[in-house]
Amino acid sequence: MAAPAPRGYKAPRVSDYDDLTDPVQHVKRFENALATGDPSSDAYKCRLFRNTLTGLALDWLDEITQGTIQNFQQFFEQFRTKFGTSKTTSRTIHELWQIRQGPDESLRDYVDHFLKMNAEIKDTTDDRSTMIFVHSILSGGLYDSFVDDIPKTLMEASA
């Protein structure tokens, strides 16, 4: 798609996409960057998006026959179809149940690990996460304090 840049428009900076990360997240970052500037035509969005591709993703784009993509939505669908297997999958509550504080792992490191994993889970509640957290830490100071005063929230438990 040939499209001139709007007069005075400065293209937003977006990190490059190779083919190893989630293509949907990349498009979201790209569209968010565009939203901070001049709303552009579909043709110009496609032209700008090309500049964010590297490696196999750029090779893929070079193989598309010119004129076969009519708008940015169609371009996005083809991009997502091609690189959809690189999409990150969300973790499940079952994975959260599997982690435990290691014998040589500091409590702070474990809390950070647990909270990061918990943030990647879409189908959990604070009550459930708190219960799992309490049961996953090693017995000792913090665990023993939970016996008398069970935390009501994950934030309270991990503080």
Residue 158: pLDDT band with limits 50, 70, 90 = confident
CA–CA gap between residue 81 and residue 18 (Å, rounded): 15
Selection from 53, 55, 44 nearest residue 9 by Cα: 44
Q: What is the pLDDT of residues 85-119, one digit of tens each?
A: 776 667 888 888 998 888 888 888 888 888 888 88
Q: Please give the mean pLDDT across all residues of the chain.
A: 78
| Residue length of the chain | 159
**What is residue 13's three-state secondary structure?**
coil
pLDDT at residue number 145: 63
Domains of the chain: residue spans and CATH? 23-86 (no CATH), 93-158 (1.10.1200)
pLDDT at residue number 124: 82
Of 17 and 145, the one with more pLDDT: 17
Which residues, including other chains, have CB under 8 Å from residue 45's CB and lie 6 or more apart? 34, 72, 75
Q: How many Cα atoms occupy the beta-carbon half-sphere of 150 within 13 Å?
A: 8
Residue 45 tokens, joined: 């969005």
pLDDT at residue number 52: 81
In single-letter form, the type of residue at position 73 comes to Q
pLDDT at residue number 140: 67
pTM score of the predicted model: 0.46
Best-predicted range by mean pLDDT (11-15, 18-22, 121-125, 134-138): 121-125
Of 115 and 3, the one with more pLDDT: 115
Whether 43 shows a pLDDT value over 70: the answer reads: yes
Cβ-based neighbour number of residue 115 at 10 Å:
14
